Amino acid sequence: MIHLRIVAPETIAHQALELLCAEAAVINVVHLEGASRKPAGDVILCDVAKEDASVIIGDLKELDIPAQGSIAVEHIDTAISDAAAAAEKAAPGLPSDAVVWEEVESRTSEDTELSFSFVLFMVAAMQIAAVGIVLDQPILIVGGMVVGPEFGPLAAICVALVQKQEHLVRRSVLALAVGFPLGTLATLLTALVLIALGAFPESFDETRHAFSDFISRPDALSFFVAFVAGSAGVLSLTAAKSGALVGVLVSVTTIPAAANISVAAAYGEWSDAGGSAAQLAINLSGIVLAGVLTLFVQRRYYVARRRRHLMDPARTGAGLPLGRSLRGTTQVPALRERKKDREGAERR
């Protein structure tokens, strides 16, 4: 179940109440008149079956609530209620397959910032992976994969391409375009210093380092693993399953490939550096391609469901038209005024 906290002006709040109370997938509707002070208005609390959460939120957006108030979305881990079971049964599909698109957009948007901490994590991840490559220690290579924050911008690129959000694509690409080069350069400098201090060996024999050999020699399986991992990563993101996401992070060699570019360059092994760069490009492209395809399929399913929902008679109680959406139109303010005039006439 998904919990919604809605803040809206009185007129819009009553429209939202009409809508929520008429939906079988919505329960525990609570109306607190005048409870909000900033912004001023009513507060509505309700629980929605996860399968219908984005559909219902879409209706609330049509009522212009985000511009006049707010909609907060929270997950309910446990709901002990026959009414909750009935609400989930009324919503077609399975909760485990449901996607709350507003939550996905918010989560990926937060992970696209080119922040100081993002760059530090990129640098730290590559430093750890570089030590693992030189020492041929898989546990350190895996540690670098887990620390790396690059999947956030990659997932955001996938979401932005499917949702056609150019600004989000630009922000995500910028984070990756700055983060990878800075991390690689910092790791190169660190490797040179450690070689000079004797902490790293003076020469690097790739025949004795099976893991770096795999990283610097990409093949068809490299793309296959990246593609499958990209699809699994997006699925774990939309299903909010962090355990599966961790598994994805340790299966694709983006961070080790970038770190191996630095290690190979520090030892003058330019062919290995080029191979690692190719591995990095293959992995990044495979993840993005798989992510876009996976999200596109999920989005098409939601769009079809949303179109069917537009014919729901419950929309008429909130003053919303059947068969079409008011999103992106100028009709919402006019709709609100007509509703207000009608209520005033009824009171008179």
Distance, in Å, from the CA atom of 339 to the CA atom of 145, rounded to the nearest integer, reads 55
pLDDT, tens only, 148-190: 888 889 989 999 999 888 888 999 999 999 999 999 999 999 9
Residue 270 shares a structural domain with residue 332 = no
- Same domain, residue pair 181 and 147: yes
Using pLDDT thresholds of 50, 70 and 90, give the confidence band for residue 334: very low
Query: Does 156 lie in the same domain as 216?
Result: yes
Spatial neighbors of 319 by CB under 8 A, at least 6 apart, are 15, 18, 335, 336, 338, 339
- CA 165, distance to chain mean position in Å, is 13
- Assigned domain for 311 exists: no
CA 305 to mean position of chain CA atoms: 21
Confidence of residue 282 (pLDDT cuts 50, 70, 90): very high
In a domain, 217, yes or no: yes
Q: Give the structural domain span for 58.
A: 2-98+319-347
Distances (CA, A) of 268 to 126, 174, 195, 203, 264: 18, 29, 12, 10, 6
Q: Which of 286, 276, 150, 172 is nearest to 229 (CA)?
A: 286
Quick one: pLDDT at residue 311? Answer: 87
Residue 276 falls inside a structural domain? yes
- Claim to verify: residue 50 and residue 109 sit in the same structural domain: no
How many other β-carbons are positioned within 10 Å of the β-carbon of residue 17?
19
Three-state secondary structure call for residue 43: strand
Number of domains in the chain: 2
The answer to whether residue 157 is domain-embedded is: yes
The one-letter code for the residue type at 85 is A
* Residues 161 and 205 placed together within one structural domain of the fold: yes
Total residues found in the chain within this entry: 348
Residue 261 maps to a domain: yes
Do both 336 and 221 map to the same domain? no
Considering the domain boundaries, does residue 307 fall inside one?
Answer: no
Q: Is residue 310 part of a domain?
A: no
CA angle 252, 96, 227 (to 5 degrees): 20
- Give a yes or no: residue 182 inside a domain: yes
In terms of domains, do 143 and 277 share one? yes
Residues ≥6 apart with Cβ < 8 Å to 201: 134, 195
For residue 307 the two structure tokens come to: 């179109």
Cis omega before residue 95 (within 30°)? no
Q: What is the pLDDT of residues 197-209, one digit of tens each?
A: 998 888 876 656 6
Residues 180 and 271 in one domain: yes
C-alpha distances (whole Å) from 294 to each of 50, 109, 115 are: 20, 18, 28
Strand partners, 41: 36
